[in-house]
Amino acid sequence: MGERFVTAAADSADVWAAALGTGGVFVLLIVLVWQIAATWRARMLAAQEERYKQLAEKYARLLEDNVDLHRRSVEQLAETRKSIEALEERLPRELE
């Protein structure tokens, strides 16, 4: 009579322990994957923000260049108008 009897309570406890352990591992893996995805997304957003910042700086430089070109064009146009006005004043006198 050296038989060994396993009670249902002990068997049930082992099943619950295995289920909780397996569930814990799955929860850990889910959290790990979630954090890796969140970190990757944050890096992508930071890189995108850096590209937007570079684009804004480039736009600002181009805008300054455009304003400078416009100012020089206006100055040259003013000089051209003065020259034409001077010619218009001299031409009628020379034709007479």
- Spell out the per-residue pLDDT of the chain, length 96, in tens: 456 655 555 578 788 888 999 999 999 999 999 999 999 999 999 999 999 999 999 999 999 999 999 999 999 999 999 999 988 888 876 665
Domain that holds residue 5: 1-93
What pLDDT was estimated at residue 12?
Answer: 81
- Name the domain count of the chain: 1
> Rounded to whole angstroms, how far apart are CA atoms 26 and 30?
6
Instruction: Work out the angle at residue 37's Cα, subtended by the Cα atoms of residues 53 and 26, and round it to the nearest 5 degrees.
Output: 170
* DSSP helix/strand/coil, 95: helix
Would you state the torsion angle of the CA atoms of residues 44, 49, 52, 54, taken in this order, to the nearest 10 degrees?
Answer: -100
CA atoms within 13 A on the CB side of 61: 6
